[in-house]
Amino acid sequence: MTSSNVNETVTTDYVTPDGQQYRQTIVNEVPVAISIEGISYSVMMITPVDTEAFVIGFLFTEGIIDTFNEIKDIVLSETQIPNTQNIGLLADVTLTSRKLSQFKHHRRTRLGKTGCGLCGIESLDLAFPKIDHKIDDENTDIKGMEPHSIAELDTMILNTARETLTRHQEIGRTVGGIHCAVILNNKGQVESSAEDIGRHNALDKAIGKQLKQNNTMAFQHCIMTSRCSTELVQKAARANLASLIHLASPSSLAVQMAKNAGIRIVHIPRVDSPRVYA
By annotation, the residues acting in catalysis are 116
Q: Which of 183, 203, 205 is nearest to 54 (CA)?
A: 205
Q: Which of 243, 251, 256 is nearest to 161 (CA)?
A: 243
Q: What's 58-97 look like in SS3?
A: HHHHCCCCCCHHHEEEEEEEEEECCCCCCEEEEEEEEECH
Contact 224, 181 (CB under 8 A): yes
Rounded distance between C-alpha atoms, residue 260 and residue 276, angstroms:
15
Through-space distance between the first and last CA atoms of the chain, rounded to whole angstroms: 39
Neighbouring C-beta atoms of residue 66, cutoff 10 Å = 13
Q: What stretch of H or E contains 275?
A: strand 275-276
Burial class of residue 153, CB neighbours in 10 A (0-12, 13-18, 19+): buried
What are the φ/ψ torsions at residue 41 (nearest 5 degrees)?
-120, -50
Contact 190, 184 (CB under 8 A): yes
Q: Which amino acid is at 3?
A: S
Neighbouring C-beta atoms of residue 61, cutoff 10 Å = 22
